[in-house]
Amino acid sequence: MAVTPQDEVIGHVLCTRAHVDEAPVLALGPLSVRPDRQRTGVGSALVHTALGAGDALGEPMVVLLGDPGYYHRFGFRLGSDLGITPPVAGWQPHFQVRTLAGYRPAVRGAFRYAEPFDRI
């Protein structure tokens, strides 16, 4: 969460446990910033925090569905570049991966969110 000195929540990011084939990876989302605080760097701070935490924990990658125009600046690439496929073929243009220090090229194949996402 991003919080002001007055304890107001102005943004949040969440990562959940997901898998690529059998390998554990992180799925990022949702990410949001309160509209009156957007475009002030809060979203970037939240994404960098999630990436830094994932790196420190030895995770291989962070995967998400989002606008490449926004996420490219953080080093996200299309999953297809790394042989990682989304659960729905139509997601491909927005399905992105950011590798971390724990990345191994052997982590490839079908991505799946944690089981509760299947019920949404």
Ligand X SMILES: CC(C)(COP(=O)(O)OP(=O)(O)OC[C@H]1O[C@@H](n2cnc3c(N)ncnc32)[C@H](O)[C@@H]1OP(=O)(O)O)[C@@H](O)C(=O)NCCC(=O)NCCS
Grouping H, G, I as helix, E, B as strand and the rest as coil, residue 79 is helix
For ligand X, the closer of residues 19 and 34 by Cβ is: 34
Using a 10 angstrom Cβ sphere, with 0-12 exposed, 13-18 middle and 19 or more buried, the burial of residue 12 is middle
- Tell me: does residue 8 bind ligand X (CB under 6 A): no
Nearest distance in Å: CB 93, ligand X: 13
- Tell me: does residue 40 bind ligand X (CB under 6 A): yes
Task: Tell me which residue has tokens 């997901």.
Answer: 18
**Number of chain residues interacting with ligand X (CB under 6 A):** 15
Instruction: Note whether 24 and 57 are within 8 A (CB).
Output: no
Answer for which of 38, 49, 72, 106 binds ligand X (CB under 6 A) is: 38
Backbone angles phi, psi at 15, to 5 degrees: -120, 140
Closest to 33 (Cα-Cα) out of 23, 25, 24, 42: 42
- Tell me: does residue 120 bind ligand X (CB under 6 A): no
Answer for which of 5, 58, 69, 90 binds ligand X (CB under 6 A) is: 69
Q: Which residues bind ligand X (CB under 6 A)?
A: 29, 31-33, 38-44, 66-67, 69-70
